[in-house]
Amino acid sequence: MGITIKEIARRCGVSIGTVDRALNGRPGIKEETKRRILEVARQANYEPDTVARSLASGRSRTIGIVIGDLNNRSFAQLVNAAERTAREKGYLVQLMLTGKESEPEKQCLAHLKSRKADGIVLFPVNKGERFEAFLDRLGLPLVAVCNRLSERRSYVGIDDRSAMAEAADRAWTAGYRRFVYICPPLTYRESHNIHTQAERFDGFREALSRRGAEEPIVVTSQDFVSELAKLEFGGAARTAVFCSCDAYALEALNHFRARGVRVPEDAGITGFDNIDMLKYVSPRLTTVHYDMEEIGRSAVELLVEQIETGQAPRQLTLPYRYVAGDSM
């Protein structure tokens, strides 16, 4: 059996409370005393009893991260940053993947509740009053990322509508007059929470409407490459292909390369996310940058604040910037 706090206190000639302050970095202890306690604990290979600590504090020091999948590189960046921040703040992370489906998401949330998670970072696919009622019954601090819930829930994201509108305005200014928009998730707009994707599409359409542009060609098929194959490029009207994320843009770029469609001469391409692997892509993809890692960090910081201080829900909108590459 390992050494206990009581034994450390006996060896150091101090109270159990003083040892607790030293081990947990709390104030109210002399620096010399703290160093002596930590050295005794280190030499004795002290490991905290997490179960006992949980019982005493009413917290498990665990937070859940619930997200659709890790196929999109930007999702992985978010999770990595969130886990690192949680660990720095003394919390462990339980990651749960929902497959971007409504019922599995609720099952994951209920599981985290049963496992005594202290709070949850959620990239939601559910929405509406029934889901809000479900979250109320869950009764856990929660921060939504990217896809908004109601104003009663904390949120971290960007102004996706303005970001895509700016990108569309730049394409128009560059002389593009025919527009294609690729976004398979729009198929689920009525049934799922696709706030991020919907905001990008709405910003795109609003920008074109202000310019008096013709109605864009909107592609929502999962097999969007086949739909692109039906379109002609290289005519008098320059075509801009807008993709709601970089992953779709890279697929479009590969398709054009195989077809012999020149980018950007015959067709321009704009993505969204500025995923880190774009540094390996030629031509350099025009895209919208936002710091997905900062979203992950901010979400955990906001969640821990709610857990530890009872802070009321807050909504954070982080900055973005247009990245002019060679594809548009």
pLDDT digits (tens, 9 = 90+) for 161-175: 999 999 999 999 999
Q: Cα(272)–Cα(287) distance, rounded to whole angstroms?
A: 5
Q: Is the pLDDT of residue 147 over 90?
A: yes
Residues 78 and 12 in one domain: no
Q: For position 57, what pLDDT does the model report?
A: 52
The reply to whether 193 falls in a domain is yes
Residues 63 and 180 in one domain: no
- Structural domain harbouring 210: 160-290
Residues 151 and 299 in one domain: yes
- Percent residues over pLDDT 90 in the chain: 77
Could you report the per-residue pLDDT of 247-301, keeping only the tens digit for each?
A: 999 999 999 999 999 999 999 999 999 998 899 999 999 999 999 999 999 999 9
Q: How many separate domains does the chain show?
A: 3
Nearest to 276 by CA among 81, 100, 146, 93: 81
The reply to whether 328 falls in a domain is no
Residues 66 and 153 in one domain: yes
Residues 213 and 195 in one domain: yes
Residues 12 and 101 in one domain: no
The reply to whether 26 falls in a domain is yes
Q: Is the pLDDT of residue 82 over 80?
A: yes
Residues 99 and 220 in one domain: no
Residues 221 and 311 in one domain: no
Residues 112 and 184 in one domain: no
Q: For position 55, what pLDDT does the model report?
A: 47
Q: For position 58, what pLDDT does the model report?
A: 61
Query: With bands split at pLDDT 50, 70 and 90, how would you rate the model's confidence at 143?
Result: very high
The reply to whether 66 falls in a domain is yes
Burial class from Cβ neighbours inside 10 Å (0-12, 13-18, 19+) for residue 324 reads middle
Residues 169 and 254 in one domain: yes
The reply to whether 179 falls in a domain is yes
Residues 149 and 229 in one domain: no
pTM over 0.75: yes
Residues 263 and 249 in one domain: yes
Q: For position 27, what pLDDT does the model report?
A: 78
Q: Is the pLDDT of residue 1 over 60?
A: no
Lowest mean pLDDT across 68-82, 142-156, 243-257: 68-82
Token representation of residue 153:
């829930």
Q: At what angle do helices 5-12 and 16-23 cross, to 10 degrees?
A: 110
- Domain containing 255 — which CATH number? 3.40.50.2300
Query: With bands split at pLDDT 50, 70 and 90, how would you rate the model's confidence at 53?
Result: low
Query: With bands split at pLDDT 50, 70 and 90, how would you rate the model's confidence at 79?
Result: very high
The reply to whether 76 falls in a domain is yes
Nearest to 287 by CA among 266, 310, 263, 270: 270
Nearest to 288 by CA among 249, 256, 315, 317: 249
The reply to whether 167 falls in a domain is yes
The reply to whether 134 falls in a domain is yes
